[in-house]
Amino acid sequence: MYLTNAMKFIPKHPFFSVVLLCLSFTLLSCRSAKKVSFKAPVDTTTKYIKLQLKQTYNLSDVGVYASNDFDGARLNGFEKENDSTAIVVINPENVPINNSPYYAFKTWTNSPKTFYFKFKYPKGFKHRYIPKLKVNDVWSVIDSSYLFKEDSIVTIKLNLDKTPIIVAAQEIQSTTDVKNWYTELARGKESYVRIKSAGESTLGRNLPVLEIYKGDREQKDLIVLITRQHPPEVTGYYAFQSFLETVLDNSQLSDQFLHKYRVVAFPIMNPDGVDLGHWRHNKGGVDMNRDWSIYNQPEIEQTVKFINKTLKKNKSKLILGLDFHSTWYDVFYTNKTKESTSLPNFIENWFLSLEKNIPSYKVNEQSANSNKPTSKGWFLYGHNAVGITYEIGDKTPKDSIKLFGKVSAEQMMNILLNNNY
């Protein structure tokens, strides 16, 4: 604002523009968070994205409706192929983008009818997610006898009537659902779970953060939990939920842990992408998990500032960062550098104890230092902390996810309390 006003009084000469640019750069950089450099930088400046038109499609001569008019929906077109089949057009928010073709729409008819839906993605993208169906508020996975695959083109069959069915790539967990969950989780725990805000997304959605500790707030080492940088990665979010619920489960372990350590947990890093039904990016058309170097995107910039401010204010050290995602299978991506971190033996001991405490479970670890600006690399290069990308498979059953989340939280607390790192 003051710069805009000041500009009116500065003669329009290239020299003055340069001075002004330098001045504004200095002012901005004073206030910005410390950058972290990576071997393979990625351009994370804001890109154009194409917003889907929110509407209800009506194939009037066959009496079938489809709508994307809700948070988390994605439907870019709905066209009649013949009297029993519609083409479901699904496009990404922008390209290039990886193959995570997310879709979600609501469909119904006025009178009962069996109808087919054929998925159509742009060239180069293939169907990935098995459809989940929500009827009368209950989610289920589509029965395999209702799913047909021909040359990688997927068609599903549904028995429609007046009750809308939501068809989605993954169960929908919108910003409202996430808020309901953490509000409920924190209820009755107000003295040690503080719901705060790290700021706002590009479209003004809240960036919530739960700050958790008991007793004296100073000099407690910090553990950072984050999730939903990538909107469709709901199975990773379920592990995050189970993990945090265990940290807050009122057990003796939890009580001791929270007297010694502080946790900050970010339950929805990309609220715009989640509610807009994105495949991977935020409103800025960027993969947020490549922006942990110079923080072009507001979500990452404000998250980093919040973490750094918390550390400084409480004279504490970031020791561990877990970033919950989903991919094709369960895997932990770790950094190769372990010895020089604050917890040199943590990973080894954690994985051993997971295998010991989860029946017939074998840890899948893929270890490499991050060249690209991911959160995992930021934890290591920016803080000398252990950084782990905690990936849950797209198809991992919910009860297994719950168990992984629970046991991994318990074992983390055990190891950190027993100085077994």
When CB distances to Zn ion are compared, the closest residue is: 325
For Zn ion, give the closer residue by CB, 93 or 233. 233
For Zn ion, give the closer residue by CB, 262 or 283. 283
Least distance from Zn ion to the Cβ atom of residue 403, Å: 21
The burial of 166, by beta-carbon neighbours within 10 Å (0-12 exposed, 13-18 middle, 19 or more buried), is given as buried
Least distance from Zn ion to the Cβ atom of residue 272, Å: 16
Q: With CB under 5 A as the contact rule, which of the stretches 41-49, 268-276, 297-305, 324-332 interacts with Zn ion?
A: 324-332
Residue 117's DSSP bridge partners are 86, 156
Widest pairwise Cα distance in the chain = 74
Rule CB under 5 A: which of 134-173 touch Zn ion?
none
Length of the chain: 421
- Burial of 87-112, coded b for 16+ CB within 10 Å and e otherwise, reads ebbbbbbbeebeebbbbbbbbbbeee
Least distance from Zn ion to the Cβ atom of residue 396, Å: 14
Q: Is the peptide bond before 96 cis (omega within 30 degrees of 0)?
A: yes
Q: How many binding residues for Zn ion (CB under 5 A)?
A: 3
Rounded distance between C-alpha atoms, residue 407 and residue 155, angstroms: 38
Least distance from Zn ion to the Cβ atom of residue 233, Å: 5
Q: Which of 325, 376, 383, 406 binds Zn ion (CB under 5 A)?
A: 325
Q: Which residue, 308, 326, 330, 306, is CA-closest to 318?
A: 308
Rounded distance between C-alpha atoms, residue 27 and residue 22, angstroms: 9
H or E element that contains 158: strand 153-160
Q: Which of 74, 205, 220, 230 binds Zn ion (CB under 5 A)?
A: 230
CB 342 within 8 A of CB 405: no
For Zn ion, give the closer residue by CB, 106 or 281. 281
For Zn ion, give the closer residue by CB, 64 or 401. 401
Site string for Zn ion, 233-252 (x = CB under 5 A): x-------------------
Least distance from Zn ion to the Cβ atom of residue 324, Å: 9
Per rule CB under 5 A, is residue 280 in the interface with Zn ion?
A: no
Least distance from Zn ion to the Cβ atom of residue 373, Å: 14
DSSP letter (8 states) at residue 74: B
Q: Which residue, 328, 330, 268, is CA-closest to 303?
A: 268
Rounded distance between C-alpha atoms, residue 174 and residue 145, angstroms: 29
For Zn ion, give the closer residue by CB, 98 or 219. 98
For Zn ion, give the closer residue by CB, 230 or 290. 230
Q: With CB under 5 A as the contact rule, which of the stretches 10-18, 242-250, 322-330, 338-346 interacts with Zn ion?
A: 322-330
Task: List CB contacts of 228: < 8 A, sequence separation 6 or more.
Answer: 173, 178, 236, 237, 267, 268, 269, 270, 271, 274
Least distance from Zn ion to the Cβ atom of residue 285, Å: 16
Q: With CB under 5 A as the contact rule, which of the stretches 21-29, 102-110, 164-172, 231-239 interacts with Zn ion?
A: 231-239
For Zn ion, give the closer residue by CB, 126 or 309. 126
Least distance from Zn ion to the Cβ atom of residue 113, Å: 38
Q: With CB under 5 A as the contact rule, which of the stretches 214-222, 224-232, 303-311, 348-356 interacts with Zn ion?
A: 224-232
Least distance from Zn ion to the Cβ atom of residue 242, Å: 18
For Zn ion, give the closer residue by CB, 106 or 325. 325
Task: List CB contacts of 274: < 8 A, sequence separation 6 or more.
Answer: 71, 72, 173, 174, 175, 178, 228, 231, 268
Q: With CB under 5 A as the contact rule, which of the stretches 130-138, 226-234, 247-255, 402-410 interacts with Zn ion?
A: 226-234
For Zn ion, give the closer residue by CB, 221 or 233. 233
For Zn ion, give the closer residue by CB, 226 or 354. 226
Rounded distance between C-alpha atoms, residue 296 and residue 44, angstroms: 6
| Cα dist from 23 to 29, 33, 130, 171, 228, whole Å | 10, 18, 53, 48, 36
Give the pairing of strands 113-120 and 85-89: parallel
Least distance from Zn ion to the Cβ atom of residue 232, Å: 9
List residues near Zn ion by CB under 5 A.
Answer: 230, 233, 325
